[in-house]
Amino acid sequence: SDSHFPVPVSPAHCDWTEHFPVLAAAGDGSASGQQQQQVPKVRFADVGCGFGGLLVRLSDLYPETLMIGMELRDKVTEYVKERIVALRKNNPGRYGNISVIRTNAMKFLPNYFDKGQLEKMFFLFPDPHFKEKNHRRRIISQGLLAEYAYVMAEGGILYTVTDVQELGEWMKSNLDAHPLFERINLEEQSSDPVVEFLVATSEEGQKVARNRGDTFVAVYRRVPSPP
Ligand code: SAM
């Protein structure tokens, strides 16, 4: 249950220095004024990151961007931690920009991120919760989209993919209905280097590809809030 992992009471209480060497090197966060502003922040979140395949791939693509995986399962989180430690050890100077936290992203996102902080959010192969009475547990819903919109920067991109057609339609209809998200068309998607990795790098995506299953990608932009 949630009591098994610590949750920061607010983003200001979040100690990212233990996750990212670049922040540890920048000091204890007590730097003042301008210096403080230059300390990088986490910009990408992979929600329900599983075994971390997407993060590992994106680490190379955006080496200057700090990104975090959020994962509910303890053992899976520990695996990802160890995977990153090993990658850093075997590839000096690389993989310092990715890390993972064990948390319930459906409950605690605003405890970790400030308003407008995230430039990309990923929801790859989320649990489908097939039964109608469990739809409220789905990770894309009107209530949760309001939270995602809050932590996302205007112009930020939210990526979803699933192999369950009905869930794909559910995610799209929820996103289409939300005033702070607009769908990105296929042409624009094809110029986004990240889109091809959604299926190819995640462990779940690879499994679906091996079984020659279909996948349903939907990508949305966080549009500016009305004045
Ligand atoms: N995204 C990964 C991939 O594509 O390989 C994993 C997909 S797996 C089907 C869904 C993952 O979401 C599981 O690892 C599960 O533990 C995690 N998860 C489910 N609910 C979550 C929540 N509320 N917060 C964080 N992670 C969650």
DSSP output for 31-64: --HHHHHHS--EEEEEET-TT-HHHHHHHHHSTT
Q: How far is CA 160 from CA 40, 49, 150, 156, 168, in A?
A: 26, 12, 18, 13, 8
Mutate to test the pocket of ligand 1, among 139, 197, 203, 216 (most ligand atoms within 8 A of CB): 139
- Going from the Cα of 127 to the center of ligand 1, the distance in angstroms, rounded, reads 7
Mutate to test the pocket of ligand 1, among 49, 121, 197 (most ligand atoms within 8 A of CB): 49
Q: How far is CA 58 from CA 17, 69, 178, in A?
A: 20, 11, 28
204 lines ligand 1 (CB under 6 A): yes
Q: What pLDDT, on the 0 to 100 scale, is given for residue 28?
A: 53
Average pLDDT over residues 147-170: 97
Q: Would you say the ipTM is above 0.85?
A: yes
What pLDDT band is residue 206 in, cutting at 50, 70 and 90? very high
Question: What is the set of domains in the chain, with CATH numbers?
Answer: 35-222 (3.40.50.150)
Cα–Cα distance for residue pair 151/119, rounded to 1 Å: 9
Cα–Cα distance for residue pair 221/159, rounded to 1 Å: 9
- Going from the Cα of 97 to the center of ligand 1, the distance in angstroms, rounded, reads 21
pTM for this predicted structure: 0.94
126 vs 35, which has greater pLDDT? 126
Please tell me the least confidently modeled range out of 108-117, 126-135, 215-224: 126-135
Share of the chain above pLDDT 90, in %: 85
SS3 115: coil
- Going from the Cα of 72 to the center of ligand 1, the distance in angstroms, rounded, reads 7
76 lines ligand 1 (CB under 6 A): yes
Average model confidence (pLDDT) for the chain?
A: 93
What pLDDT band is residue 220 in, cutting at 50, 70 and 90? very high
Please tell me the least confidently modeled range out of 24-28, 99-103, 108-112: 24-28
Average pLDDT over residues 13-42: 77
The residue assigned the tokens 């310092």 is 96
Q: Which residues are catalytic?
A: 127
Average pLDDT over residues 165-176: 97
